[in-house]
């Protein structure tokens, strides 16, 4: 009987996690179709396809694939970032591309990772804080509109969040397991995380701080050392680009992630910065996480400080959310795209929201128990759920699919955020709105201008058959380096030579010149064909 009960408990635990995985994956698939291609995706699409071609050759003709020039040609696309997620996405793409459209096939792998993350988040919170905490944590994460948007993309930010989360989760779950195999496994997982994105460097920093502050267990410090040592060969093994000119390419990569990365500044509080002030990350988290969830995760932080029965897990979650934001606040990054680089913090904030919700409900139960009122308890429970989730769900329905323009009630939504000097949008996902109009009205040979450095998105739309192939895209760089010799027409022309102009209202594009930028001067000369706005705030305008 006891064994049956144990089996039933395990089934319930993993059964719920499986249902969560299925539900989140289904929702992501259903909502994917209308989400436009974003700035970084075309490069990752091209890289995934190139890597898969190399693997095909490696299995059939390994002696050819391992030649230096073959490795260099296949792996130089997007060599700026490690390949792990592009390999995984490419594998899923190679399996599904004959059944679904190319964009969805490329994105499917990361949607799977997002759904797995949901299941793991539930399991972790459920095991320590209960089923309710697990369910609320998952609900919190996927009703954060910015995270929900990124969970669809074939980009690196949510995979980075997944890899950091699973490494931290594995460290916690295996703390008391002394067999050496668990230490080796942790190193392998962290190595794969490093091979996903550099954000994985946050993990040992966070775990080290947590151990210093709360555990001070020499055995666990040793585990971190073993994790680091065993991660190094994994990182090298999964990145064939480093098989050739290894020392040179390692230093190139280190240079790229430190001093040599091209600079992408940030419009923030009405000014253009590079880098923005130290408080940028904290303000952005406040601005883009729904206010009800912000209240819950603050409660979760307070509960973590006061609660001693969870072996300081709440404090580990807090540090895991805080360290990436602190890293941004140093001003050492070369890239600032609103909340994008803080995606790593979001799952941990969601976990803290689950803890805060449970604590709030327990307080409500004590209050209603004293008053002996079941009705008051149920009403209070419902009100808390409504306040925590309904406001952002209503906005998400209205704003779908343009969630990169979402701002919380904490800054009075998109209207208030724009007045306060925050970006209205970023990453070109609204370009998709212009395609039907251009396809219908443009003349053969018409030239299309879009924001500088975002021509890759339009070129990919042409290659995918979503934009007519008899149109010319104005590009500032050689597109063959990304798309190869079969790339459609892209030419260097001045902005004034265009026939169509697609402008996303990303204030960072205008730099420190603001509305005096020559881009705005040129656009003012032309006819507005279409404008997409939300709550009166323009997000994308098409000119001809």
Q: Are residues 325 and 451 in the same domain?
A: no
CA 99 – CA 93 distance, rounded (Å): 10
pLDDT digits (tens, 9 = 90+) for 118-144: 999 999 999 999 999 999 999 999 999
- Asked if residue 383 is part of any domain, the answer here is no
Answer with the residue of higher pLDDT: 509 or 371.
509
Residue 308 banded pLDDT, cuts 50, 70, 90: confident
pLDDT digits (tens, 9 = 90+) for 322-375: 999 999 998 888 778 889 989 999 999 999 999 999 999 988 888 776 666 677
For residue 23, is pLDDT > 80?
yes
Do residues 106 and 44 touch, judged by C-beta distance below 8 A? yes
Q: Are residues 236 and 147 in the same domain?
A: yes
Of 400, 402, 411, 413, which is closest to residue 505 (Cα–Cα)? 402
- Asked if residue 380 is part of any domain, the answer here is no
Last residue of a domain, one of 333, 349, 365: 349
Q: Are residues 150 and 254 in the same domain?
A: yes
- Asked if residue 379 is part of any domain, the answer here is no
Please give the average per-residue pLDDT across 96-117, as a whole number. Answer: 97
Q: Are residues 293 and 438 in the same domain?
A: no
Q: Are residues 53 and 184 in the same domain?
A: yes
Chain centroid to CA 438: 30
Say how many Å lie between the first and final Cα of the chain, rounded. Answer: 75
Chain-wide mean pLDDT for the chain?
91
CA 238 – CA 14 distance, rounded (Å): 31
CA 38 – CA 49 distance, rounded (Å): 18
Q: What percent of the chain has pLDDT over 70?
A: 94
What residue spans of 307-429 are helical by DSSP H? 313-329, 346-371, 374-399, 413-419
- Asked if residue 193 is part of any domain, the answer here is yes
**pLDDT, position 115:** 98
**pLDDT, position 8:** 47
Q: Are residues 345 and 451 in the same domain?
A: no
- Asked if residue 412 is part of any domain, the answer here is no
* Phi, psi dihedrals of residue 537, rounded to the nearest 5°: -100, 120
CA 541 – CA 530 distance, rounded (Å): 6
CA 413 – CA 88 distance, rounded (Å): 36
Q: Are residues 459 and 338 in the same domain?
A: no
Residue 512 banded pLDDT, cuts 50, 70, 90: confident
**pLDDT, position 485:** 58
**pLDDT, position 476:** 67
For 332, the enclosing helix (H) or strand (E) is none
Tokens coding 91: 């594998």
Of 77, 23, 70, 67, which is closest to residue 45 (Cα–Cα)? 77
- CA–CA–CA angle 67, 70, 73 (5° rounding): 150
CA 281 – CA 291 distance, rounded (Å): 16
pLDDT digits (tens, 9 = 90+) for 446-484: 999 998 778 889 999 999 999 999 999 987 665 555 565
Residues facing 534 on adjacent strands? 537
**pLDDT, position 5:** 45
pLDDT digits (tens, 9 = 90+) for 138-190: 999 999 999 999 999 999 999 999 999 999 999 999 998 888 888 899 999 99
Last residue of a domain, one of 300, 324, 349: 349
Of 44, 187, 163, 25, which is closest to residue 103 (Cα–Cα)? 44
Do residues 137 and 353 touch, judged by C-beta distance below 8 A? yes
Reduced to 3 states (helix: H, G, I; strand: E, B; else coil), residue 396 is helix
Q: Are residues 69 and 190 in the same domain?
A: yes
User: What is the count of structural domains for the chain?
Assistant: 2
The number of beta carbons lying within 10 Å of the beta carbon of residue 34 is 12
pTM for this structure?
0.94
Please give the average per-residue pLDDT across 481-492, as a whole number. Answer: 62
pLDDT digits (tens, 9 = 90+) for 398-410: 999 999 999 999 9
Q: Are residues 67 and 196 in the same domain?
A: yes
For residue 436, is pLDDT > 80?
yes
pLDDT digits (tens, 9 = 90+) for 41-68: 999 999 999 999 999 999 999 999 999 9
- Asked if residue 378 is part of any domain, the answer here is no
Residue 251 belongs to what domain range?
A: 2-262+279-349
For residue 9, is pLDDT > 50?
no
Answer with the residue of higher pLDDT: 477 or 275.
275
- Asked if residue 77 is part of any domain, the answer here is yes
Last residue of a domain, one of 325, 349, 373: 349
What residue spans of 174-264 are helical by DSSP H? 180-194, 202-210, 218-237, 246-258
Reduced to 3 states (helix: H, G, I; strand: E, B; else coil), residue 175 is coil
The number of beta carbons lying within 10 Å of the beta carbon of residue 126 is 21
- Asked if residue 254 is part of any domain, the answer here is yes
Do residues 71 and 240 touch, judged by C-beta distance below 8 A? yes
């Amino acid at each position: 009987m006891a064994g049956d009960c144990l089996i039933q408990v395990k089934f319930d635990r993993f059964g719920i996690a499986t249902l969560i995985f299925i539900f989140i994956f289904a929702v992501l698939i259903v909502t994917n179709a209308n989400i436009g291609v974003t700035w970084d995706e075309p490069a990752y699409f091209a890289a995934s396809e190139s890597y898969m071609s190399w693997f095909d050759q490696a299995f059939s003709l390994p002696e050819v694939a391992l030649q230096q020039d073959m490795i260099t040609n296949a792996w130089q696309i997007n060599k700026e970032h490690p390949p792990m997620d592009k390999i995984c996405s490419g594998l899923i793409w190679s399996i599904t591309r004959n059944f679904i459209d190319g964009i969805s096939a490329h994105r499917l792998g990361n949607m799977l990772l997002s759904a797995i993350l949901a299941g793991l988040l539930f399991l972790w919170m459920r095991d320590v804080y209960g089923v309710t905490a697990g369910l609320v944590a998952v609900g919190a994460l996927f009703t954060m509109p910015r995270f929900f948007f990124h969970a669809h993309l074939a980009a690196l930010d949510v995979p980075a969040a997944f890899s950091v989360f699973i490494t931290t989760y594995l460290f916690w779950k295996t703390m008391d397991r002394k067999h050496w195999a668990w230490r080796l496994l942790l190193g392998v997982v962290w190595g794969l995380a490093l091979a996903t994105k550099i954000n994985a460097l946050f993990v040992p920093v966070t775990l080290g701080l947590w151990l210093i502050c709360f555990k001070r267990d020499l055995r666990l410090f040793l585990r971190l050392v073993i994790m680091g040592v065993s991660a190094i060969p994994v990182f090298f093994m999964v990145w064939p680009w480093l098989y050739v000119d290894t020392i040179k390419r390692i230093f190139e990569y280190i240079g790229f992630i430190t001093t040599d990365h091209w600079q992408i500044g940030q419009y923030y509080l009405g000014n253009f910065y590079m880098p923005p002030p130290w408080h940028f990350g904290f303000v952005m988290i406040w601005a883009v996480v729904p206010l009800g969830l912000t209240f819950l995760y603050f409660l979760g932080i307070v509960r973590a400080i006061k609660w001693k029965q969870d072996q300081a897990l709440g404090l580990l979650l807090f540090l895991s959310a805080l360290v990436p934001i602190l890293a941004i606040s140093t001003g050492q990054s070369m890239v600032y795209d609103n909340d994008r680089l803080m995606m790593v913090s979001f799952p941990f904030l969601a976990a803290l929201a689950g803890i805060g919700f449970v604590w709030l409900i327990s307080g409500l139960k004590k209050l209603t128990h004293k008053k002996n009122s079941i009705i008051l308890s149920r009403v209070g429970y419902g009100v808390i759920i409504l306040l925590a989730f309904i406001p952002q769900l209503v906005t998400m329905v209205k704003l779908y699919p343009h969630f990169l323009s979402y701002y919380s009630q904490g800054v009075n939504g998109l209207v208030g955020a724009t007045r306060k000097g925050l970006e209205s949008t970023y990453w070109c996902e609204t370009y998709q709105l212009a395609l039907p109009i251009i396809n219908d009205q443009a003349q053969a040979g018409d030239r299309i201008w879009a924001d500088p450095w975002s021509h890759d998105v339009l070129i990919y739309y042409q290659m995918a058959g979503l934009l007519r192939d008899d149109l010319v895209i104005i590009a500032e760089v050689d597109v063959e380096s990304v798309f190869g010799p079969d790339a459609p027409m892209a030419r260097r022309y001045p902005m004034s030579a265009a026939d169509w102009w697609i402008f996303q209202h990303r204030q960072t594009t205008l730099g420190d010149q603001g509305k005096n930028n020559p881009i705005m001067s040129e656009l003012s000369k032309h006819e507005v064909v279409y404008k997409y706005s939300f709550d009166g705030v323009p997000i994308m305008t098409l000119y001809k």
